[in-house]
Amino acid sequence: MLELRNVQTYYGNIKALKGIDITVNAGEIITLIGANGAGKSTTLMSICGIVPPREGSIRFKERELRGMDTDRIVGFGISQVPEGRHIFPHLTVRENLDMGAFLRRDKAEISRDIEYVYELFPILAERRNQAGGTLSGGEQQMLAISRALMARPTLLLLDEPSLGLAPLIVQQIFEIISQINRENGTTIFLVEQNAFQALKVANRGYVMETGTITMTDTAENLLNNEDVKRAYLGV
Amino acid sequence: MNFEYFFRLFFSGLTRGSIYALLALGYTMVYGIIKLINFAHGEIYMIGAFTALIVAGALSLTGMPALAILVLASVVALVYSSMYGYTVEKIAYKPLRQAPRLSALIVAIGMSMFLQNYLLLAQTSNFLPFPDLLPEFSLPESWGGMVNGPQFLIFVTTAIIMVALTLLIKFTRMGKSMRATSQDKVMAALLGINVNRIISYTFIIGSFTAALGGILISSYTGQINYFIGFLAGIKAFVAAVLGGIGSIPGAVLGSIVLGMAESFAAGYISSVYEDVFAFVILVLILIFKPSGLLGKPEVQKV
């Protein structure tokens, strides 16, 4: 479904992605793990055209995305939950969700989806008229995921959804991620530093170090790999 | 205390305030979206007035009724000035979107000087008489002497524009995407909003209201030259800062407060220092409440 080939992305003269190859098949959960500054977020920002790659190709459903504007790329069914959540602080919870459905016109279906995310995260229903900026970190993460779902994406990109959250909430977020994948068939590309949790929900994983992919395998094999264990699982 | 004098100053302040508000909206909306003080904004106001003058001059040769001339000249001037604002953004500011904010600010000042001098060369440095296009109509006897027809027309027009704009920003798809873009551009793009288009809309709306202010005030005062945009622009900027830059209700409130303050200060203290009061207010607000009357401190969670 999504194929990155030899993707090279720069910030000024600094080469952040040194030619990476990643394949995501329809219906999978794949995870990209690695340390801080390895280039994980840059990978997602390259896919969405926020930081356009200088070389290589990014194909999504047989379309070349490189060089396209972000709003067009998003229109093909790719949603991203960026790192740091990026909630609109002065819009209400409900307005944030409405913005998620910006490209859709099917009003009746949109209100059904709003009910659906309220079921996934009942706390959002309670807070629907509150400004996004007043929510707690965990609630903001729930809102960010819900807002991305409002676009009915075929591919959902999640950047560090567990960052800075209490362990109980992290558990809940990961459960919802696999639920979204199971129930809606949404393909998920999960970027995480919490390698253990990520590999537990994923089918396959990629390991990234300073702008290159150093390893790829099934999630199970990566969980049992000695190098991965030492470097990322803290065992 | 002389009430008639008081109310005359009050309405004159309200008239000024309305014009500042039409201009301040553009400053505050553009700042809200791209964090740029568009110093060329006052020039769009002046260009609006000039265009209306030229079109009205041409139309008056045809012997049309004054009201028809007013409407036609205004429509042409509003469309022309909106396109001007759009074009200025595309040529001067868009290429600097990623540059440091100071560079864009300096370009804005340069653009302001360029447009003034362009008009100076293309037209004249003299004051030109502006035709008296606003319909004269008599207001009820009891208002007599305190407020006149053209002033009344200026408040009403401004009030209509403010209400329309508030509805647009609050409830339409375009308005919501403008608010979202002003709060977080990257996220807006990730949701499929075309950020460049939103920025263009902002410049078009701001230029439209600025040009409307230019036309209204010129037909009220009866004369224009290439320099009128400068002082009006700076004062509207003060009004936007006073209200809290980035806040639309703040821009309106700041403008009314500034217009009133100037009018009362000129009427009760001295009209010689009329222009000084605006800047005294600017200094005071920057010292005591830099976020402005309605400016919101950033709400942010990490």
B166: nearest Cα among B260, B48, B250: B250
Which H or E element spans position B129?
A: strand B128-129
Cα nearest neighbour of A98 on chain B: B176
Asked whether the predicted pLDDT for residue B302 surpasses 80, the reply is no
Section A91-109 average pLDDT: 93
- Asked if B301 and A103 come within 8 Å (Cβ–Cβ), the reply is no
Residue B191 belongs to some domain of the structure: yes
Candidate from A48, A84, A89 with C-beta closest to B190: A48
Tens-place pLDDT, residues A205-215: 999 999 999 99
Residue B299 belongs to some domain of the structure: no
- CATH domain A2-90+153-233 topology: Rossmann fold (3.40.50)
Chains A, B: CB pairs < 8 Å: 75
In CATH, what number is assigned to the domain containing residue B74? 1.10.3470
Retrieve residue B229's tokens. Answer: 């945009």
Residue B302 belongs to some domain of the structure: no
**Does the CB of A69 have a partner CB in chain B at under 8 Å?**
yes
* Cα separation, B78 vs A70, whole angstroms: 32
Asked whether the predicted pLDDT for residue B113 surpasses 50, the reply is yes
Cα nearest neighbour of B176 on chain A: A99
SS (H, E, C) chain A: CEEEEEEEEEECCEEEEEEEEEEECCCCEEEEEECCCCCHHHHHHHHCCCCCCCEEEEEECCEECCCCCHHHHHHCCEEEECCCCCCCCCCEHHHHHHHHCCCCCCHHHHHHHHHHHHHHCHHHHHCCCCEHHHCCHHHHHHHHHHHHHCCCCCEEEEECCCCCCCHHHHHHHHHHHHHHHHHHCCEEEEEECCHHHHHHHCCEEEEEECCEEEEEEEHHHHHHCHHHHHHHHCC
- Asked if A88 and B298 come within 8 Å (Cβ–Cβ), the reply is no
The DSSP secondary-structure symbol of B128 reads E
- Asked if A151 and B183 come within 8 Å (Cβ–Cβ), the reply is no
**Does the CB of A151 have a partner CB in chain B at under 8 Å?**
yes
Type of residue found at A235:
V
- Asked if B193 and A102 come within 8 Å (Cβ–Cβ), the reply is yes
Section A109-116 average pLDDT: 94
Which pLDDT score, from 0 to 100, does residue B211 have?
Answer: 96
Residue B3 belongs to some domain of the structure: no
Domain boundaries, chain A: 2-90+153-233
Residue B208 belongs to some domain of the structure: yes
Alpha-carbon torsion A104, A107, A109, A113, what sign?
positive
Q: How many domains does chain B have?
A: 1
Domain assignment of residue B275, given as a range: 18-136+144-288
Residue B295 belongs to some domain of the structure: no
Which pLDDT score, from 0 to 100, does residue B142 have?
Answer: 63
Tell me the pLDDT of chain B averaged across its residues: 90
